[in-house]
Chains A and B, each alone.
Chain A
Amino acid sequence: MCVRCEISRRSLLIGGGAAAASLTTGVAEARVRPQDMVSLIGPGYRPTDTDEKGLWQLMDRAEEEIAGSNLLIKDPGLVSYLQDIIGRVGGPAAKDMRIYLAHVPDFNAMMFPSGFAVVFTGLLLRMRNEAQFAGVIAHEGAHFLRRHMIRSWRDMKRKSDLFAIGALAAGIGGAGAGVYLGDYVQLAQLATILSLFKDSREMEAEADAMGAKLIAEAGYPPMEMSTVWQQLIGELNASARYRRKRRERGSLFDTHPSPEARMADLKLDAQEMTVPGRIYDDRRARYLKMIGPIRPMLLEDQVKLNDPGGSQYLLNTLALDGWNGLLRYYEGEVWRLRNRAGDDARAAQSYAVAVAYPDAPPEAWRWHGLSLMKEGRSVEGKSALSRYLQLKPTAPDAPFIRQMIG
């Protein structure tokens, strides 16, 4: 019956390429509207289905391990502050969700299927006010409220089942008819995988929309969520530019929509969610007061990542709310650690400016003093160093500095 019963690889590739291209360009992913996002669970939710019960049991074990991890920051004041925020923007599950703060200097937060979230310290550093932080928490909480994890698990299960059956049917059918269908099977596998990533991106879009709704209802300015993405895009670009690379572009295998798309959608969400006449408060002062005790540590972690482009952008972003001694000191540290030609002079300048602020850390006086000594201004240098010793008499290098002052 067939004249040439083989499937042309070329036609297959062209077909596959066209199908793949239509996924990215042809069909734009529609924006999810915040008002459509209602919680799918109520307070005190417990799983009733077998698969979800199994997942929760696994997660309980994971939570036990995470809760006992020595990476966690357990400062009670800070933890109860974070718990308080999840309580404000957690919708119906506000009282059920738990939050853990892990000492990892990256921008990230994640939600687990049983309702606990892990937040990295790098996120705390990057947020300029409580509204921004609440936005990220609300996004994570929305994953739980919309039951995203069990939904994606079921989706994956259904699709892998269908694929296994389809592949076997194609194999047996093909063998019976004497045709090799392996290429189609591979294409189907790619399509299955791509559809899983696409679903993941749709859920992220849902979480963004619902997050905007939740923080607006809690009285935070919803536009701050969009600003978070604007800041992240800026940081990624600055970091890449310094390394003379381009920031990674989106692909079909992304689990999240691109930062640009999220920023744009969140801006529209915020406009929709803003009620004219209502007063929104970003609670910046309270946020800075609460993270104040660990902020030096957060900045210290960041400048040691050896990412001068990103660190510098970050400091400038945080300084949009006003420079202070701490930020200026770490600006100096970025230059000093980068150590290119002229960086020592730049660093010296930052230290000099830092010590003019009342909140300059003792180390700013140390490096200010050492920079002055290096320039040959030893009298001023020694006076700065003695200020350092005065502020931090138990510094590990105190005997050494004392000897230098003579």
Chain B
Amino acid sequence: MRRLGIALALALSVTASACVQTRQYADVQFTPPRGDYRLLVMRPDVTVNSLTTGGMSQPRADWTEQARTNLINALRTEQAGRGGKVLVLARRNELPGVSADEIAELERLHYAVGQSIALHKYSGAALPTKRGKGLEYTLGESAVSLGRRTGYDYALFLYAEDNIASTGRTALQVLGVAGCFIGFCAPSGGSNQFAYASLVDLRTGEVVWFNVLQTGSQLPGVKFGDIRTPQGANQMVERLLERMKPGREVRQAQAAQGKEIR
């Protein structure tokens, strides 16, 4: 009886660890773009892996291509809903008057800034000087110069990774959870996703909004929208971008206004 109790408790905690998580940060002055704006989507960095029985991520070229196409389509639909004009870069040399090297430099700079945001906003290494200041990061003059020359208002950087459990991995998960009933629980991770989106205001060069999406479960067979399918890609884009919240000062101002009207 006691053993069954433990098994149930563990099974419950396992269920609890199956989740979809997003956490967004914004510049205190940030207002989500609406209406007539021009958005430049930098080449989306997409990887779809097959998760082997032993837990290695094996990249899949065909799945990756499929997922990239789906995500780009989903992004176009989502942005059209907001009223923006969108250009999704497929290659680095697509913008007239902007060299591929310049785009590459900006991508690398953003990668470094993104790492810093991940470290100080998401990994717990919070900086005391940045407390309560929302998102305070910038790509500087290079981003402003790109915006001035191309006429785009925003640039969006997108990273998406989907690890899809192979049959072997799913079987291992099933056995791991089944083991709980004889007192040996070995839950192992199955399909999971990791994605982030980062919005840069090309008029100021600042990173104005950043969102991270994580999904994963230790229960076999749980899926969170497979980005190889259009539905799954829509779901990911919606989770990442749809609920874009304004910055703190803008929210406070809105709240104050709401009170006045009442």
On A, residues with C-beta under 8 Å from B are 50-51, 53-58, 65, 68, 156-157, 159-165, 167-168, 171-172, 174-176
Contact of B59 among A55, A165, A168 (CB under 8 A): A55
Q: Are B186 and A160 in contact (CB under 8 A)?
A: no
Residue pair A168, B186 in contact (C-beta under 8 Å): yes
Tell me how far the C-beta of A342 lies from the nearest C-beta in chain B, rounded to whole angstroms.
Answer: 46
Task: Give the residues in chain A near B188, CB-CB below 8 Å.
Answer: 164
Beyond A160-B52, A161-B53, A175-B184, is A168–B172 a contact (Cβ under 8 Å)?
yes
Q: Verify if B58 is at the interface (C-beta below 8 Å from A).
A: yes
**Nearest-Cβ distance from residue A192 to partner chain B, whole angstroms:** 9
B182 pairs with A157, CB closer than 8 A:
no
A171 to B180, CA, bound (A): 11
B168 at the interface (CB under 8 A from A): yes
- Taken together as a complex, chains A and B put the C-alpha atoms of A165 and B53 apart, in Å, by 8
Q: Which of B55, B58, B183, B186 contacts A54 (CB 8 A)?
A: B58
Contact B168 A175 (CB under 8 A): no
In the complex, chain B residues whose CB is within 8 Å of the CB of A65: 104
B61 and A57 within 8 A (CB): yes
Chain A contacts of B49 at CB under 8 A?
A: 54
CB-based contact A53/B55 at 8 Å: no
Q: Once the chains bind, are A57 and B64 in contact (CB under 8 Å)?
A: yes
Q: What B residues does A53 contact at CB under 8 A?
A: 60-62
Residues of B within 8 A of A51 (CB): 58
B59 and A157 contacting across the interface, CB-CB below 8 Å? no
Distance (Å) between the CB of B58 and the closest chain A CB? Answer: 6
The 6 A-B residue pairs whose C-beta atoms are closest, nearest first, are A160-B54, A175-B184, A54-B59, A161-B53, A57-B61, A53-B61
Residue contacts A-B, CB under 8 angstroms, 15 given: A50-B62, A57-B64, A58-B59, A68-B100, A156-B56, A157-B52, A157-B58, A162-B54, A165-B53, A168-B179, A172-B179, A174-B184, A175-B179, A175-B183, A176-B182
A164 to B62, CA, bound (A): 27
Provide the residues of chain A in CB contact with B59, threshold 8 Å. Answer: 54-55, 57-58
- Contact at B172–A175, with CB atoms within 8 Å? no
Complex Cα distance, B55 from A171, in Å, reads: 17
Q: How large is the interface on B (under 10, 10 to 19, 20 to 34, 35 or more residues)?
A: 20 to 34
Interface string of B76-103 (1 = CB under 8 A from A): 0000000000000000000000001100
B52, B59, B176, B178 interface centre (most CB from chain A within 10 Å): B59
A68 to B91, CA, bound (A): 14
**Any A CB within 8 A of the CB of B175:** yes
Known: A156-B56, A164-B188. 18 other contacts (CB 8 A): A50-B60, A53-B61, A53-B62, A54-B60, A54-B64, A55-B59, A68-B100, A159-B54, A161-B54, A164-B54, A164-B172, A165-B172, A168-B172, A168-B175, A172-B179, A172-B184, A175-B182, A175-B183
Instruction: Give the distance in Å from the alpha carbon of A65 to the alpha carbon of B101 in the complex.
Output: 10
Residues on A with C-beta less than 8 A from B186 are: 167-168, 171-172
Query: Contact between B176 and A157 (Cβ–Cβ < 8 Å)?
Result: no
The answer for the CA separation of A250 and B183 in the assembled complex, in Å, is 42
The distance in angstroms between the C-alpha atoms of A55 and B58, with both chains bound, is 8
Q: Say how far A259's CB is from chain B's closest CB, in angstroms.
A: 31
* Cα distance, A57 to B64, chains bound together (Å): 9
A54 to B78, CA, bound (A): 29
Q: What B residues does A175 contact at CB under 8 A?
A: 179, 182-184
A157 B56 Cβ-Cβ under 8 A: yes
Cα distance A50–B61 when bound, in Å?
8
B10-56 residues at the A interface, CB under 8 angstroms: 47, 49, 52-56
Q: Which B residues are in CB contact (< 8 Å) with A58?
A: 47, 59
A56 touches B184 (CB 8 A): no
Q: How far is the CA of A159 from the CA of B55 in the complex (A)?
A: 11
CA distance A329 to B101 in the complex (A): 38
Which of chain A's residues have a CB closer than 8 A to the CB of B47? 58
Give the residue among A65, A171, A174 with the most B Cβ atoms within 10 A. A171
Whether the Cβ atoms of A160 and B179 lie closer than 8 Å is: no
